């Protein structure tokens, strides 16, 4: 279940594990270990194959595959956190915090994920300006239109768009259905 109980002052928290990335990372680790083994065997026992490359090539390949696995592991989890002061998004090393006072409007996004150049973390230039998107295959999306800044829109995926939109409506001063107090 991707929705996890909020911690502390969080209003909503969702973490989605991306299973294909787990398999890809495991495959990269296996290849890295294989090349590391080939390097060690060649250093301590002699050539592994006929016409072998120098041992540093095996070590280099091991480093490339293990480094790629380390990089991939940072994209295994996507998280969305709605707090009293901001909406926080994280996909690996890419993190964004959007303060409510910077949001002009919010709506459920009906476009395909391909409108943003695919799925995952995307930065795209559209007619309205730059868009930063955190999108996942088969998930609903919410579009936050920003008042100012480099990005005009922040788009993100969620399993429960109605719940997130309800929280946003309660937090945004200009959200549809929000009644302003005369005081």
pLDDT tens, residue order, the chain (183 aa): 456 656 778 899 999 888 888 999 999 999 999 999 999 999 999 888 888 899 999 999 999 999 999 999 888 999 999 998 899 999 888 899 999 989 999 999 998 878 888 888 999 998 889 999 999 988 999 999 999 889 999 999 999 999 999 999 888 864 444 444 443
Is 125 in the same domain as 62? no
Is 68 in the same domain as 90? no
Do the domain assignments include residue 102? yes
Tally the C-alpha atoms within 13 A of residue 151's C-alpha that lie toward its C-beta. 17
CA angle 40, 74, 34 (to 5 degrees): 20
CA distances from 77 to 21, 57, 81, 83, 127 (A): 9, 32, 13, 19, 31
Do the domain assignments include residue 61? yes
* Residue 54: Cβ-neighbour burial (10 angstroms; 0-12, 13-18, 19+): exposed
Do the domain assignments include residue 6? no
Is 167 in the same domain as 88? yes
Do the domain assignments include residue 159? yes
Is 67 in the same domain as 128? no
Domain that holds residue 23: 19-73
CA distances from 15 to 5, 21, 30, 135, 168 (A): 10, 15, 27, 13, 18
Do the domain assignments include residue 8? no
Do the domain assignments include residue 167? yes
Is 119 in the same domain as 166? yes
Q: Are residues 14 and 3 in contact, defined by beta-carbon separation less than 8 angstroms?
A: yes
Domain count, the chain: 2
Report d(CA 47, CA 125) in Å as an integer: 52
């Amino acid at each position: 279940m991707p929705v996890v109980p909020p911690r502390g002052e969080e209003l909503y928290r969702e973490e989605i594990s991306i299973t294909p990335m787990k398999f890809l990372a495991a495959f990269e680790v296996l290849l890295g270990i294989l090349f590391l083994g080939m390097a060690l065997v060649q250093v301590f026992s002699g050539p592994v194959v006929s016409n072998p490359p120098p041992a540093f090539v095996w070590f280099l390949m091991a480093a490339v595959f293990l480094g790629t696995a380390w990089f991939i592991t940072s994209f295994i989890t996507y998280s969305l956190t709605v707090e009293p002061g901001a909406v926080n998004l994280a996909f690996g090393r890419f993190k964004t915090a959007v303060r409510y006072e910077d949001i002009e409007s919010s709506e459920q996004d009906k476009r395909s994920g391909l409108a943003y150049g695919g799925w995952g973390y995307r930065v795209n230039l559209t007619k309205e300006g730059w868009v930063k998107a955190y999108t996942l295959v088969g998930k609903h999306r919410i579009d936050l239109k920003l008042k100012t800044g480099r990005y005009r829109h922040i788009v993100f995926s969620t399993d429960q768009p109605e719940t997130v939109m309800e929280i946003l409506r309660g937090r945004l001063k200009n959200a549809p259905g929000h009644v302003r107090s005369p005081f």
